[in-house]
Chains A and B, each alone.
Chain A
Amino acid sequence: MDSQTQAVAAAPERVRPPRRLAPYRRPRRDAGRNGFGYLLLAPQVVCFTAIGLISLISVAWLSLHQVNVLAGTQTFVGLDNYASIFADPDMKVILPNTFFFVGVLSVAGTIVALALAVLLNQKLPGINIFRSAIFVPALVTMVAWSLVWRFIVQPKGGVDALFALVGVEPLPWLRGSWLTLLVFALIQLTKNVGINVMIFLAALQAVPEELIDAARIDGAGRWGRFRNVVIPQISPSILMVFMLMIVGSFKVFELVLLLTSGGPGVQSSVLSFEIYKQAFQLNDIGYASALAVLLFVIVLALTGLIWQLRKRLVFHESE
């Protein structure tokens, strides 16, 4: 202990000059530093890699098998499960549905959140009440939000009554088709958009006033200032929200299960629900595992792609 203390105590004089050049590398690591660091990291890293890595490997392994849950046997079938994914006519509905949510929720979700943030960024008395109001659905569980909306969009429910007031006939909200997907997208979007609004509000409030004033003096209009000054300034937040929405948009699960069970047929189903249905309702573990691998690969590919594009999209890296 004593020698350690001395080493640290003596460190400042010796270390400071080179540190300015390479801020993160300490030329002399005092004894035990690595040991202490690994000791602190161990519980998290060991558990995470053990459980995460093993489950990823075993889901990939299971996807190559035909699993009989009742008999407890599994036979190696190679890539058959993957072949049947692409031969399955249901997948011609489920995969486009999945990508519909990814596209709509990520793009519309980001734009709506930004628009709401701009709307809520005014200096008005009582603005905090409105900010809280938009945040409330984020506090409710997705199940509660889905159940409330199921109550609202049921035939002869609240929405039908509201539409009847303006003379619109009741619409088949939950009978499949694009209308059901649109309803789902809207319900899913309103649930957590408040969180993204708060992220954008914080970013908007951090934009330096001088920049906006300078643009005003240069004759930029409201839209010009927003487009050319504000957007580039908050672009790291936009990218972050966009990526989070992409990852989150694969999780339209509660809504599908509770409102339509993916039906009629598979018309309103998505990949995450199909994994659950195949694995835990139909006991087709091998096929469900192949779907899970597919989901993982899609998420990985999409986030990787956007991460690669970030340099072109984002004005400056915040970190």
Chain B
Amino acid sequence: MSQSERKRFRAVRRIPNYLLLSIVSLFFIGPILWMISGSLKSENEILRYPPTILPEVVRWKNYERVFELQPFARQFLNSVIIMAAVCVLTLVLSVFAGYALARVRPIAAGAVFIVLLSGIFLPPEATIIPLFRFAGKLGWTNTFLPLILFTAVLTTSPIATFVMRQAFLSLPAEFDEAAALDGSGRWRTMLQIYLPLARPSLASVVVLSCWYSWNQFLEPLVYIRSTDLLTVPVALTHYNDPMAGPLWSVQMAATTLSVIPVLLVFFFAQRHVVAGLTAGGLKS
């Protein structure tokens, strides 16, 4: 068998593989494509049966209506603000705690670690009732505070601490001694020597905390009352006509708008996103 024949044989043998992969992928990508197609259909066309695959007339106006019916730009910004705050708080808490558990190891660090680890298995539905009552007593309902503080403290930072602990454990302990020999203090050793080396894990923590906050639905649904303060996931569910039910095409347009930025981030930082979500998948 000549070289080129063998090559062709191999290519032919791959066809069923590619076919199977395409069918499987379509199951995951198909709904997204259907959403984009639906977002560009007119209200009449979207109700037609059997449905058209591509819109006959592309209606960009659906995207304008997203912003007319609700302060969607504002709501988008709300989500971003909350996400950024959760992310920063999680980073601070988890870098300190992770470093302490991995490198400083004070007495009883193991017990502390197990307590924090239990946070990963604490379902948010189990604590939402008392947390809502606390928020009410503190005057925090209809503010971003419970969405930032409770989320960061109870959910994202325990997982992030786990990730950062692993990261600092994998770095050689000798740096500690060498730094001390050179006269570096504890804080400086942590922040200037170990922290820069743990950069990939910091990226993971950023991704997982942003992802968790961006996805939250139950919490904003419970804590936020006014339309102006809503986050994107809750806002998406409000594209309804009280008489006629969901405004399908506008809702699909809003949903598409909520998905695109995330896909762009994924496109540019694929490796970090995958690393972050597989670490953060802990609480999917």
Contact = CB atoms under 8 A, between A and B. Distances in A.
Interface residues of A, number: 97
A97 to B, nearest CB: 15
B24 A142 contact: no
Given A37-B104, A40-B100, A144-B258, A136 B49 contact: no
B49 A156 contact: yes
Contacts, number: 271
Contacts of B92: 43
Contact of B217 (A150, A253, A296): A253
B51 A41 contact: no
Interface stretch (B59-67, B150-158, B198-206): B150-158
A192 B281 contact: yes
A301 B168 CA distance: 32
Contacts of A119: 20-21, 24
A249 B98 CA distance: 28
B40 interface: no
A315 interface: no
Contacts of A102: none
B262 interface: yes
B268 to A, nearest CB: 13
A41 B263 CA distance: 35
A292 B125 contact: yes
B57 interface: no
Contacts of A149: 31
Q: Which bracket fits the contact residues of B? A: 35 or more
Given A138-B277, A253-B218, A275 B97 contact: no
A111 interface: no
Interface stretch (A77-85, A195-203, A210-218, A227-235): A195-203
B94 A44 contact: yes
A279 B129 contact: yes
Interface in B205-246: 214-215, 217-218, 222, 232-234, 236-237, 246
A206 interface: no
A59 B97 contact: no
Given A119-B20, A247-B283, A44 B97 contact: yes
Contacts of A150: 246
B29 A136 contact: yes
A59 to B, nearest CB: 5
Contacts of A56: 122, 126-127, 130
A276 B130 CA distance: 12
A54 B134 CA distance: 10
SS class, residues of chain B in contact with chain A: helix
Interface stretch (B1-9, B68-76, B176-184): B176-184
A132 B218 CA distance: 28
A260 interface: no
Interface in B172-190: 176-177, 180-181, 183, 185-186, 190
Interface in B230-279: 232-234, 236-237, 246, 248, 251-252, 255, 258-259, 262-263, 266, 270, 273-274, 277-278
A254 B185 CA distance: 49
B148 to A, nearest CB: 12
A157 interface: yes
A136 B181 CA distance: 49
B25 A59 contact: no
A313 B27 CA distance: 32
B125 A275 contact: yes
Given A253-B217, A253-B218, A199 B273 contact: no
A132 B274 CA distance: 10
Nearest to B255: A144
23 contacts: A5-B183, A40-B99, A40-B100, A43-B97, A44-B153, A48-B154, A52-B119, A119-B20, A129-B25, A130-B22, A133-B29, A137-B28, A139-B266, A141-B232, A152-B31, A161-B49, A202-B278, A254-B217, A275-B128, A276-B128, A295-B126, A296-B122, A303-B121
Interface of A: 1, 4-5, 8-9, 11-12, 24, 32-38, 40-41, 43-45, 47-49, 51-52, 54-56, 58-59, 62, 116, 119-120, 122, 124, 127, 129-130, 132-145, 147-152, 156-158, 160-161, 164, 190, 192, 194-196, 198-199, 202, 244, 247-248, 250-251, 253-254, 258, 271-272, 275-276, 279-280, 285, 288-289, 292-293, 295-296, 299-300, 303
Given A198-B274, A244-B282, 17 more contacts: A36-B106, A37-B105, A41-B100, A41-B101, A51-B131, A51-B153, A52-B127, A56-B130, A62-B130, A134-B28, A144-B259, A152-B34, A158-B51, A192-B284, A195-B278, A288-B129, A292-B128
